[in-house]
């Protein structure tokens, strides 16, 4: 697996109308197995890259913004390309200083291995989970175990 890239890194939607820049490493990357992520991604889980909002910027275009009530009951502000409808990131209103980016939209996502899982009780029955990694049957009461696993994985200081 590749090492952490030199930041900043960039990504965007399928058609190129929206581009963004990430200026620092994420706090963590984990898989979400909630039904919303399954439906939105079209696969069994969706990777989530948790970033400080200050470390993220849209550098081209504007996003289509809409609010969605998540399986947890929380409201999540979704951002997608208004042209090709690629879902790029969301703003969890419960964490106003955060962005949850879809790492598959990065130009290079070779380094974005998830180090934990949330909403495992709604995972597809054939999905294999590494139970030695942090995992939660629903929404994690705190993301800190996921962040700690990310720091440990990369040998980053707390």
Whether residue 34 has pLDDT greater than 70: yes
pTM score, whole prediction: 0.91
pLDDT, average across residues 4-31: 97
Architecture of 9-154 per CATH?
Answer: Alpha-Beta Complex (3.90)
The overall average pLDDT reported for the chain is 93
For 105-116, the pLDDT digits (tens) are 999 999 999 999
Residue 1: pLDDT band with limits 50, 70, 90: low
What percentage of residues in the chain have a pLDDT greater than 90? 80
Question: How many angstroms separate the Cα of 122 from the Cα of each of 71, 89, 139, 151?
Answer: 10, 22, 11, 27
């Amino acid at each position: 697996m590749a090492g952490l890239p030199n930041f900043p890194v960039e990504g965007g939607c399928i058609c190129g109308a929206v581009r963004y820049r990430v200026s620092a490493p994420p706090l963590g990357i984990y898989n979400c197995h909630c039904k919303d992520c399954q439906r939105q991604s079209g696969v069994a889980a969706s990777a989530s890259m948790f970033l400080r909002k200050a470390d993220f910027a849209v550098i081209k275009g504007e996003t289509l913004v809409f609010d969605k009530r998540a399986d947890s009951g929380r409201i999540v502000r979704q951002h997608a390309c208004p042209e090709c409808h690629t879902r790029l990131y969301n703003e969890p209103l419960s964490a106003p200083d955060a962005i949850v980016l879809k790492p598959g939209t990065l130009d290079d996502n070779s380094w974005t291995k998830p180090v934990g899982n949330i909403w495992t009780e709604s995972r597809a029955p054939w999905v294999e989970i590494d139970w030695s990694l942090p995992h939660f049957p629903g929404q994690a009461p705190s993301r800190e175990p996921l962040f700690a696993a990310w720091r440990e994985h990369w040998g980053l200081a707390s």
